[in-house]
Chains A and B, each alone.
Chain A
Amino acid sequence: MKKYQLGEFEEVVMLTVGILYKDAYGVSIKKEIESRLKRGVSVGALQTALKRLEDKGYLKSFDGEATEERAGRPKKYFQITALGKKAMDYSKSTRDELWRAIPKMAWNRLIDVRYKTQDLEPLILRL
């Protein structure tokens, strides 16, 4: 099972790199995640994840152009590797499998449970 390990945030980063295709570098990935998922991403967390993914061989990087607003520092573009693609596929397929494995009844019972708790609420309050 340890074959392709991909954490939740890592998966998000991978997916975003995929979305951005040829334009995936630090700032653009950060913005993309923030805008799509409505959650803040710190530069540190993102860079750590990127480095880890690169070390695992899921991403590869190459230096891009340097612009003035970057104070002459080059952009580091990321690209998904074949291995990275496999890891993502694996991650998705395991999720799907798990989803499919959930019996329909589970969703019904979930509703029942909600009702039951509502019924019990006054009782709990009284106690």
Chain B
Amino acid sequence: MSNKPPKSFLKFFRWFCHPKLRDSIEGDLMELYQERKVESGKLKADMKFMRDVLLLLRPSIIKPTGGYENLNTYGMYKSYFKISLRHLIKNKTFTFINVSGLTIGFLSFILLGLYIQDELSFDSFHKDSAIMYRMLQHEKQEDGTVRNAAEIAGLIIKESAAVYPEIEEYCRITAFGRAGLGNDPANRNYHRIVGADVNFFTFFDFPLIEGSKDRVLRNPNEVVLNETLSKKYFGSESPIGKRIWSSWSQDDKPLEFTVVGVMKDFPKNSHLQIEALFSEATWPALFDWYNDFVSSDWASNSYVTYVKLKENSNVAALSSKIERLVKSHYPTDRPFKSEFSFQPFNQVHLYSENIQGNGFNSNDSGIKPFYLYIFGVVGFLLLLIACLNYMNLATAAAFKRTREIGMRKSLGAPRGQLVAQFVIDSILIAGVSFLLSVVLLNVLLPFFRTFTQKQLLLTSLPASWYLMIIGAVFVTAILSAIYPAIISLKISTARALKGEVKAINQSFSIRKMLLTAQFAVSIAMIASTLVIYNQLKFIREKDLGMNVESLLVIDINSGNLRRNFETVKAEFAKPAEVVSITTSTRVPGEWKSFPIATVNAEGDSKKNEMIFVGIDNDFLKTYDIELMEGRNFNSGSSDSTKVILTESGVKQLGLTNPIGQIIEIPTIRTDADVERLDRIFKAEVVGVAKDFHFESLKNNLMPVIFGAPNTIIQRIDYYTLKIKTANWDETISKLKEINGKIDPNSPLEYTFLDNRFEEFYQADAKRGQIFLTFSIIIVLITCMGLFALVSYSVESRTKEIGVRKVLGASVHSIIGLVSKEFLVLVLAAGVIGLPLSWYFMNSWLQEFAYRMPLGAWIFVLAAVISLLIAFATIGIRTFNAARVNPVESLRSE
């Protein structure tokens, strides 16, 4: 006879019962069973057992269907958070420095990320952008250089597409200068006239708001306006089918265009920026030479050509096939020395340096990839420095927490749990900083948008970037926690509990290294900022060889202004404020393309390139350009075959006695388009002018050859007025009035020349501002780190300072004592940081043809500034500690 209860019921009980209750209840059941068996026999005991088991089948006894064990250790995490919070609240300085440092770090990182992302996202919104290319022509010049052109002859792609199946589709864009638009004479402006092939809207993915993309731009004199222009000239009503006045004329009547579509304003991250797009069919109707030209031209540079190639096409092979094709059709009187290439569409924005005819690349002045990398590096550096700070501080703080660590260890905390405490600490700090930086981001973004002139939508960042940022939060947190965690693992429990950790010296040196690295970056940034600002100052103050102050330039946009320029000059000269007035084909600081003449002395085959400018007799006076030899032009047209050279031009031509010599101009080049003159232009040199900078100081000074105002080379395009006035608004309204009398149809278009020159360096000035901002931020973060480290050092030496004071040390000597070890670090940082900044700044300066001497003083200055900042930081912290009455600091013993 077994003395066990029914097995099946016992099994059943064990199955359903909650494991936490199982043992004790089973014990009770067994105990009762044994008793009952003795009392009333096995059968009854069995029955009662079964009844008890069935009655135990209650919700509170049955195990839950889900997991029943504590699979998580929420409790432990709760404890981690609690301890972390207490720690953060207790050490307010520590928390403040860390949170603000990391916040700035994250903020800069995100802002720079947005900026870089925007730069990289250029032109990627076209769905075929991966197979889109822009064709480039690389023509070898006589002097051995290669001229890269983004515009090629229109026939090349047309014929190639017919023969080579790799070319899926193409679209050509061409520019025809500018024209005034607008039906209301009071509301007219000048806009770039851009024509495109009929497939523009199917080739590119620029959406049309009104009009059908398959039907617009089919007929002559059709125009598609962008939203802004449509609003400007037609208000809120639909412009479709309406006509718009233009300053161009046909048969002596203003030419009117029919609006056939409205396109959405092009996204800011498109290198193509077009306001008004005209149909290609317009030009043959407008110019009778156009059809002949287009159907025979293989050599000009007139069309920006975009193509879509079949995937996996052999681009190099295609280029050489096209080369052969072009060569076979090339005009026989011109040598063919060109290569063609396909530039990937999404590289147009960033990689278009040294490419001429970039007329449609409105972001031409945009950032170079080099700076993009620099910005990327700066963003990472900021984040890194903030992390280093945190590591430094957390390590210092970890020593204060040795007792806590010892306690945990003695209670048997495994390594993981010790590390977890530090990781939670830093996740908490990183998380709070991240949230703060997101809040700040929303506040700062509008300013950043204005500053960068970019759309910069937070939503434009792809998800992977957000993942990256969140990843950065965690990586920061974990990286920051690693060092203190290692320390905590290394120290022995007993020593930790006693609070005597002697590892300080060893780890202190690591933290010193980190600090040195930070200061190296700071010093490099300070030096770079100094270099940028000094170079900009150098450029602004450099003698241009002429005067650009208080010069007002009027653009000639109408025939009335161009004809009889002597009369127009006399009209504009009437107000008393106008000191002098001159007309010219181009002006210094030119923003349009200007012709460059190939010049040689008579009988000399050596060709020289010079900027050709047609001027009248008042030009040199108005611009204060000194005449060194010979004479100025006479007024009137008697000097139409005379020229004035600049000194460097004389030197290049090798003329010893220039006056009276004959020079020859066989070809004229505008951007990449080389035009051979029908008859070689021969002229006599009548004067020599002092050199002046026609272009920005980024370019080397180029010789200038002055001709008469209206030559076969060029017609006049500007009036320049030297103005002396106290009230610019009044003067300008006077000029507007005069302009209205001469030509009521075209508004006065004017610019200030000094602004033009300033614009050349705008991108650099902006770069300077960016560097300044980031220098300040980096220095700030570094100082926070220094401050924290000094605090730690001072606090751990409270007693030492007390003893020293008792023994008669002065406040100065104590500050000196503490500062010394840190200032040495700053000097060491200078040794690392300064060569670095020298290297980068030197390569930046290469952009300028005229650069300031990169003297040692700038770097010494940067080092001194850093030392002063460091000393101030240390001083503030040490001063208080050094002034404390030693009684206070020694009493704690």
- Across-interface contacts of B56 in A (CB, < 8 A): 42-44, 47
Q: Which of the 9-residue segments A12-20, A71-79, A98-106, A114-122 touches chain B?
A: A71-79
Contact of B30 with A71 in the complex, beta carbons under 8 Å: yes
Contact of A44 with B58 in the complex, beta carbons under 8 Å: yes
Contact of B61 with A48 in the complex, beta carbons under 8 Å: yes
Whether B23 sits at the interface, judged by CB under 8 Å, is yes
When chains A and B are docked, how far (Å) is the Cα of A42 from the Cα of B24? 15
When chains A and B are docked, how far (Å) is the Cα of A27 from the Cα of B32? 7
Contact of A73 with B30 in the complex, beta carbons under 8 Å: yes
Whether B142 sits at the interface, judged by CB under 8 Å, is no
Q: Contacting B58 at CB < 8 Å: which of A26, A48, A74? A: A48
Contact of A73 with B61 in the complex, beta carbons under 8 Å: no
Q: Which of the 9-residue segments A3-11, A62-70, A84-92 touches chain B?
A: A62-70
When chains A and B are docked, how far (Å) is the Cα of A66 from the Cα of B120? 74
- Which residues of chain B (449-500) have a CB below 8 Å from chain A? none
When chains A and B are docked, how far (Å) is the Cα of A42 from the Cα of B29? 11
Query: Would A73 and B27 be within 8 Å (CB), given that A44-B61, A48-B60 are in contact?
Result: yes
Closest to B17 in A: A47
Interface 1/0 per residue, B8-37 and A, CB below 8 Å: 000000000000010111111111101100
- Across-interface contacts of A73 in B (CB, < 8 A): 23-24, 26-27, 30
Interface 1/0 per residue, A28-41 and B, CB below 8 Å: 00100000000000
Contact of A47 with B27 in the complex, beta carbons under 8 Å: no
Query: Would A63 and B30 be within 8 Å (CB), given that A42-B55, A47-B56, A48-B60 are in contact?
Result: no
A interface size (C-beta, 8 A)? 22
Contact of B26 with A43 in the complex, beta carbons under 8 Å: no
Q: Contacting A43 at CB < 8 Å: which of B23, B34, B55, B60? A: B55
Whether A125 sits at the interface, judged by CB under 8 Å, is no
Whether B809 sits at the interface, judged by CB under 8 Å, is no
- Across-interface contacts of B566 in A (CB, < 8 A): none
Question: Nearest Cβ in chain A — how far from B68, in angstroms?
Answer: 14
Contact of B24 with A51 in the complex, beta carbons under 8 Å: no
- Which residues of chain B (29-55) have a CB below 8 Å from chain A? 29-32, 34-35, 51-52, 55
Whether B57 sits at the interface, judged by CB under 8 Å, is yes
Contact of A44 with B52 in the complex, beta carbons under 8 Å: yes
Contact of B29 with A43 in the complex, beta carbons under 8 Å: yes
A-B contact count (CB 8 A): 72
Closest to A66 in B: B27
When chains A and B are docked, how far (Å) is the Cα of A91 from the Cα of B34? 37
Contact of B21 with A47 in the complex, beta carbons under 8 Å: yes
When chains A and B are docked, how far (Å) is the Cα of A27 from the Cα of B34? 12
Contact of A26 with B27 in the complex, beta carbons under 8 Å: yes
Interface 1/0 per residue, B50-74 and A, CB below 8 Å: 0110011110110000000000000
Query: Would A27 and B55 be within 8 Å (CB), given that A47-B61, A52-B60, A73-B23 are in contact?
Result: no
When chains A and B are docked, how far (Å) is the Cα of A25 from the Cα of B57? 20
Query: Would A74 and B27 be within 8 Å (CB), given that A43-B32, A44-B55 are in contact?
Result: yes
When chains A and B are docked, how far (Å) is the Cα of A6 from the Cα of B350? 78
- Across-interface contacts of B60 in A (CB, < 8 A): 47-48, 51-52
- Across-interface contacts of B51 in A (CB, < 8 A): 42
When chains A and B are docked, how far (Å) is the Cα of A51 from the Cα of B60? 8
Q: Contacting B25 at CB < 8 Å: which of A43, A67, A69? A: A43
When chains A and B are docked, how far (Å) is the Cα of A42 from the Cα of B53? 9
Query: Would A71 and B61 be within 8 Å (CB), given that A27-B32, A43-B52, A43-B55 are in contact?
Result: no
- Across-interface contacts of A30 in B (CB, < 8 A): 28, 32
Whether A45 sits at the interface, judged by CB under 8 Å, is yes
- Across-interface contacts of B34 in A (CB, < 8 A): 69
Question: Nearest Cβ in chain A — how far from B772, in angstroms?
Answer: 64
- Across-interface contacts of B25 in A (CB, < 8 A): 26, 43, 47
Contact of B21 with A51 in the complex, beta carbons under 8 Å: yes
When chains A and B are docked, how far (Å) is the Cα of A52 from the Cα of B61? 10
B interface size (C-beta, 8 A)? 21
Interface 1/0 per residue, A46-65 and B, CB below 8 Å: 01100110000000000100
Question: Nearest Cβ in chain B — how far from A27, in angstroms?
Answer: 5
Q: Contacting A70 at CB < 8 Å: which of B27, B52, B61? A: B27
When chains A and B are docked, how far (Å) is the Cα of A47 from the Cα of B26? 11
Contact of B27 with A71 in the complex, beta carbons under 8 Å: yes
Closest to B5 in A: A71
- Which residues of chain B (675-708) have a CB below 8 Å from chain A? none
- Across-interface contacts of A45 in B (CB, < 8 A): 55
Query: Would A27 and B28 be within 8 Å (CB), given that A42-B52, A44-B52 are in contact?
Result: yes
When chains A and B are docked, how far (Å) is the Cα of A47 from the Cα of B13? 14
Closest to A46 in B: B28
Contact of A51 with B61 in the complex, beta carbons under 8 Å: yes
Question: Nearest Cβ in chain A — how far from B605, in angstroms?
Answer: 107
Contact of B24 with A76 in the complex, beta carbons under 8 Å: yes
Question: Nearest Cβ in chain A — how far from B515, in angstroms?
Answer: 53
Contact of A69 with B55 in the complex, beta carbons under 8 Å: no
- Which residues of chain B (640-663) have a CB below 8 Å from chain A? none
Query: Would A69 and B28 be within 8 Å (CB), given that A44-B58, A44-B61, A48-B58 are in contact?
Result: no
When chains A and B are docked, how far (Å) is the Cα of A85 from the Cα of B35? 32
Contact of A26 with B24 in the complex, beta carbons under 8 Å: yes
- Across-interface contacts of A52 in B (CB, < 8 A): 60
Q: Which of B31, B51, B60 has the most CB of A within 10 A?
A: B31
Closest to B10 in A: A71
- Across-interface contacts of B31 in A (CB, < 8 A): 26-27, 67, 69-70
- Across-interface contacts of B32 in A (CB, < 8 A): 27, 30, 43
Contact of A74 with B30 in the complex, beta carbons under 8 Å: no
- Across-interface contacts of B58 in A (CB, < 8 A): 44, 48
Contact of A25 with B30 in the complex, beta carbons under 8 Å: no
Interface 1/0 per residue, A93-115 and B, CB below 8 Å: 00000000000000000000000
Contact of B57 with A44 in the complex, beta carbons under 8 Å: yes
Closest to B23 in A: A73
Query: Would A69 and B30 be within 8 Å (CB), given that A44-B58, A47-B56, A48-B60 are in contact?
Result: yes
Closest to B4 in A: A71
- Across-interface contacts of B28 in A (CB, < 8 A): 25-27, 30, 43, 47, 70, 75
- Across-interface contacts of A48 in B (CB, < 8 A): 58, 60-61
Q: Which of A27, A52, A66 has the most CB of B within 10 A?
A: A27
Contact of B24 with A71 in the complex, beta carbons under 8 Å: no
Q: Which of B21, B27, B51 has the most CB of A within 10 A?
A: B27
Question: Nearest Cβ in chain B — how far from A23, in angstroms?
Answer: 13
Question: Nearest Cβ in chain A — how far from B784, in angstroms?
Answer: 48
- Across-interface contacts of B35 in A (CB, < 8 A): 69
When chains A and B are docked, how far (Å) is the Cα of A26 from the Cα of B25? 7
Question: Nearest Cβ in chain B — how far from A77, in angstroms?
Answer: 9
Question: Nearest Cβ in chain A — how far from B6, in angstroms?
Answer: 14
Closest to B25 in A: A47
- Across-interface contacts of A75 in B (CB, < 8 A): 24, 27-28
Q: Which of A30, A42, A74 has the most CB of B within 10 A?
A: A42
Question: Nearest Cβ in chain B — how far from A58, in angstroms?
Answer: 15
When chains A and B are docked, how far (Å) is the Cα of A47 from the Cα of B24? 10
When chains A and B are docked, how far (Å) is the Cα of A47 from the Cα of B59? 11
Question: Nearest Cβ in chain B — how far from A94, in angstroms?
Answer: 26
- Across-interface contacts of A76 in B (CB, < 8 A): 23-24, 27
When chains A and B are docked, how far (Å) is the Cα of A83 from the Cα of B644? 109
- Across-interface contacts of A26 in B (CB, < 8 A): 24-25, 27-28, 31
When chains A and B are docked, how far (Å) is the Cα of A74 from the Cα of B35? 17
When chains A and B are docked, how far (Å) is the Cα of A74 from the Cα of B659? 122
Residues in chain A within 8 A of chain B (CB atoms): 25-27, 30, 42-45, 47-48, 51-52, 63, 66-67, 69-71, 73-76
Interface pairs (16), CB distance under 8 Å: A26-B24, A26-B27, A26-B31, A27-B32, A42-B55, A43-B55, A43-B56, A47-B21, A47-B60, A52-B60, A63-B24, A69-B30, A70-B26, A73-B30, A75-B24, A75-B27
16 additional A-B residue pairs with CB within 8 Å, beyond A27-B31, A44-B61 = A26-B27, A26-B28, A26-B31, A27-B32, A42-B52, A47-B21, A47-B60, A48-B58, A48-B60, A51-B21, A70-B27, A70-B30, A71-B27, A73-B23, A74-B23, A75-B24
Q: Give the 4 A-B CB pairs with smallest separation, nearest first.
A: A73-B27, A76-B24, A26-B28, A44-B55
